[in-house]
Chain A
Amino acid sequence: MESLLTDLNRQEWLRAGAFFFSLILMPPLTVGIIRKTKARFQNRIGAPIFQPFYDLTKLLKKDETISNHVSWIFRSAPSINLSLLFIVACLAPWTTLHPFGIPGDLFLLIYLLAFSRFFTVLSALDAGSAFGGFGASREVTLALLVEPAIMLSLASLGVTAGTSDLTTVFSFENVKLQSQTGLWFIAGCGLFLSSLVELSRMPADDPTTHLELTMVHEAMILENSATNLALAELTHFVKIVVLLGISSQCFLHSLPWVWHASEITRALASIGGVFFMAAFIAVIESVAVKLRWTKLPEFIAYSVAMSIFCVLIALSRGTN
């Protein structure tokens, strides 16, 4: 009995170790993969995959330049945001290596993301530059449009599972029970499309542009430098991994072979899934064009439509 307990504990600790290890390593690596793939698409060799690590360490070593007019919000927002995103990463089912079975409510998750956006927007306004102002206004407008899509996709999964606890919703026992392949797939598509907007990727925003007037996310962190910039960047990287992870988990849950796979296979598949999604984003960004600001609602409508399909499927199953 006692040896069984320590065995269980060891497995649990191992899983937690792997989780935190991937939480630290994967965000910069994912961004590195996106950049490398994009470079290859442009016939360039591109920076090494590990370049984001070097960039972050370089930023941490630099001296900070801060406007005299900013308040504590600007100074502390990046650290607050990074902490919030680490909490989100611990709650969200972006990988099957979910440690200690921490329960994560889907509404809590969405509002934690909104809370971090709140601080990003405040710090952008705090710096007082005109770019920060319109970047913040654009970010909030986009968030307003995308939030229902994310909320509805996740909620429809919750309805079929009969709970809003994401750990239960994404547990494979539940999936086997429901065997709703189509629902998971459409939810995955809806979440992926809204992630593109939420993560300020093309076609909503061009992350590589130098043109301040067209920026959304970048315009908000224009005033950040050195450590503050490194933290803001890292926060964004973590957000990329978490949101891509959630949609890739949805796709993985729609594949029946994953339901019966061993835990190690699932863990590897979920890490591979994130990298695959990253490469897919790079492909989209190489062929797509940044849309006109006024055309963006049309694009977001696709992800909202997907999430409404999800709700319809979930509700029709529920009444049967």
Chain B
Amino acid sequence: MQVERIPSTFADLNVVLKERLGRLGHFTSIDGSQLIALILYPHEGKASLLEIPLEGANSYHSLTPHHAQLHWFERATYDMFGILPEGHPRFKHIYMHDPYEENFFPLRRVHLPENFQSPIKRHFSFLEVKGEGVYELPVGPIHAGIIEPGHFRFSCYGETIVNLEIQLGYVHRGVEKRLTEVALPRMHFIAEAVASDTAAANALAHAEAIESMLEIAVSERSKYLRSMALEIERLAMHIIDVGGIATDIGLLGISSTMGRLRGKALGLGDMLAGSRFLRGFIVPGGVRAAGRSLSNFKSQITILRHELKEPLNMFLDNQMALERMREIGVLKNSLCREFGMVGPAARASGEAYDTRQHFPHGAYPAMAPPVVTAKDGDILAREMVRIKEIWSTLDTLDRLIDNLPEGQTQMEVPDKLPANKIGLGVVEAFRGELVHLVLSGPKGEVLRYAIKHPSFNNWTALAIAIRNNLIADFPLCNKSFSLSYSGNDL
């Protein structure tokens, strides 16, 4: 996608966010001497990059008090670049904790001011809740299941959660920095490994960004095949997420069936890409190993649709199960807007935002299915959105394979990026809006490769939604958001 680069000021950004002229797609810096804010305009299908020079200063007045959605962005920008947001209400590290030196900011290229001293310590701190009967419950970073690491600090009053503080960053690998170092032909391997369960979406966002810099238009066939990969990933992950909810409320029969059916959905990926997890399929310039054996593809979708019907109906007919999910972890629409939530979690709160409708990627928006929404914002609403999206995804796959055009699948791609370009890929991953933003320097080198994973927007939502709920409901609520740790930690 093409991006317009606009030199601007904090006042401009303030107006854009206040008047809701556009969505905040990303907020970060390039080398530490400026701030950039990616603004997405869903209705026009456009994007612009507001560049705010800091003019030698190392701090600015935090925007978080007025625009809550910048809350994590400003913390992350400090972690990576050392740019201080003065007056940030809850300022602490987000990715990088104890093991790192105090004045180490990995992506900063300009020198830190003399006598710079980080105002916050690296070690863990959290908002303490005091009072009789309040106790702290630390959970993680090592969990009982085979999941990713994250530390949750609950302040509880009896069985009720008063406050939840989430600390992430345990799987920080320096992906963004590494992406600026490797040569273009190897970049897509790292890009798709940002979060392995979102491999196809990350690969697609990367490919879209790189292609927009090189000004390559991929063939129609590639676009359709890319969309198919994206939908297969969504299908498999939505199936296992619904199964995960069934596990957590104790419906083990349904959960094991969903586990088996996820395997079948991944089998579709094997048919399409020769890789069940769709690795190495979407590359800049098109797709690789395309359409190995698509002859059975359609019948497999029909079988899967048939097999999904029964467990999903059993799940939705079980009144105890519905009762268990209703009115827990409610996320109000107003909060959802204020914090800029994305994906199924936002759609379950009545926010009709699906990037497939708005931004070109793969065969969208031409082949985009209608947006699925719900209004209650509770666990049940989130699961209903997922279940309806399973059906709409199966329909989309059917339409894609029916209309699959003939033609080339791989274009010639130069092995170097053009100078001073901006590339952008906005993709609807199964968790929501995924952004890859690439800026190249005067010699065609990558100056900054910025990734915004949908989980980055939604982690805060979880912490808000769980307040005043029962502590025993947290795992269920957590599962219903289905957030990624590695996608957030980068």
A binding-site residues for B, Cβ under 8 Å: 38, 41-44, 130-131, 133-134, 138, 202-203, 206, 208-214, 285-295
Contact = CB atoms under 8 A, between A and B. Distances in A.
A41 B256 CA distance: 10
Given A209-B250, A210-B144, A213-B471, A291 B324 contact: yes
Contacts of A292: 323-324, 328, 470, 472-473
A214 B475 contact: yes
Of A41, A138, A202, A211, the most chain B CB neighbours within 10 A belong to A211
B136 A285 contact: no
B257 interface: yes
A293 B73 CA distance: 36
A210 B145 CA distance: 6
B318 A293 contact: no
Given A43-B257, A289-B324, A208 B252 contact: yes
A206 B137 CA distance: 21
B10 interface: no
A133 B324 contact: no
Nearest to A206: B250
Given A208-B250, A292-B472, A293-B472, 12 more contacts: A42-B257, A43-B260, A130-B135, A133-B135, A134-B471, A203-B250, A210-B145, A211-B144, A285-B250, A289-B323, A292-B324, A295-B323
A214 B135 contact: no
Interface of B: 135-139, 144-145, 156, 159, 248-253, 255-257, 260, 318, 320-321, 323-324, 328, 470-475
B243 to A, nearest CB: 12
A228 B321 CA distance: 36
A210 B144 CA distance: 6
11 contacts: A43-B256, A131-B137, A203-B320, A208-B250, A210-B145, A211-B144, A287-B318, A289-B249, A289-B250, A289-B324, A291-B320
Contacts of B137: 130-131, 134, 213
Chain B contact residues: helix, strand, loop or mixed: helix
B253 A41 contact: yes
B474 A130 contact: no
Contacts of A131: 137
Nearest to B146: A210
Contacts of B255: 42
Given A42-B253, A211-B475, A294 B324 contact: no
Contacts of B251: 289
A318 to B, nearest CB: 39
Contacts of A138: 159
Nearest to A289: B320
A286 B252 contact: yes
A290 B470 CA distance: 14
B139 A290 contact: no
A42 B311 CA distance: 11
Given A134-B137, A288-B320, A294-B470, A213 B475 contact: yes
A21 B337 CA distance: 66
A208 B251 CA distance: 11
Nearest to B251: A289
Contacts of A214: 248, 472, 475
Contacts of B252: 38, 41-42, 208, 285-286
